Amino acid sequence: MTHGSPLATVVVFYLGPIPVAKPVVTTWVIMLVLAVASWASTRRLGLIPTRRQAMLELLVNAIVTQIEEVIGADARPLVPLLGTLFIFLLAANICGLLPGVQAPTAHIETPAALALIVFSAVHVFGVRARGLIGYLGSFAQPKLIMLPLNVLSEITRTFSLMVRLFGNIMSGEFLIALVLALAGLILPIPLMALELLIGVVQAYIFTVLATVFIGAAVGGATDEHAAALS
C-alpha cells in the first residue's frame, strides 16, 4: 500500500521485531493525556464544588443518566467502562483535526479493538448477571432453532459496530485531506466543523450501542434503542 491510501499505516518505530504504527502511538498519547487530566482534575474534590468540579460532575451525571435511560437499571457498574469508552472515543475521533495528527479511529485496527472490548464486556456482564448456564441459555430463546441466528447476531453486530465507526471517521479525514490538497487552507474549515460534529456523534452512537448490547445481555435494555441508532 502507498501512503496516499486512507488505509495505509505508517510504522513509527520497532519494539524488537514488532512494528509500532502511528495510530498506536497516537492512542498511547491520548491515553496518557486523559490519564494525567483525570488525575489532575480529581485531586482536590470538595463538598462545595469549584467550577472545574461542577463541570466534571455534570459530565459524569450526564453519562450515568444516559446509561440508566437505556438499560433501565443502576448504571454504576457500567460507568467505568462506558464512561471511559465515550471520553476516549471523543478524544480519538476529534484529534485528527490537529495538524499532523491522524485519528486512530480512522484506521481499522482501533475500531476493531474497541469492538472486541465491547464484545467481551457484553458476555462478562451477561454471565455476571445471569450466571453461566442462564446466559448461555438465553441464546436459545425463544426457540432452540434460534441458537445459530442468535450466535451469528453477536458476531455481525460487533462487525457493524467496528465498520460504522471506522467508515465515518476515515471518510471524513480522507475528504478533508483531499479538499485541502486541491483547494488550500480556507475551504476545508466548514468540513472540519462537520468532522468535529461527526466525531462527537460517532462517539455517542458507539457508546450507546455498547450500552444497549450490555443491557440486553443483563436483561435490561430493549431493542428500540438499537433500532433508533442503526
Q: Supply the pLDDT for residue 187.
A: 59
- pLDDT tens for 160-213 read 999 999 988 888 777 776 766 666 556 567 777 778 888 899 999 999 999 999
In three-state secondary structure terms, 12 is strand
In three-state secondary structure terms, 69 is helix
Neighbour-count burial for 106-145, b at 16+ CB within 10 Å, e otherwise: bbbbbbbebbeebbebbbebbbebbeeeebeeebeeeeee
Q: Supply the pLDDT for residue 186.
A: 60
Q: Supply the pLDDT for residue 2.
A: 39
Q: Supply the pLDDT for residue 5.
A: 53
Report residues of the chain scoring pLDDT below 50: 1-4, 221-230
Q: Supply the pLDDT for residue 124.
A: 92
> Amino acid identity, residue 97?
L
Grid cell for residue 87: 471520553
- Mean predicted lDDT score pLDDT of the chain: 81
Cα separation, 9 vs 45, in Å, equals 42
| pTM of the entire predicted model | 0.81
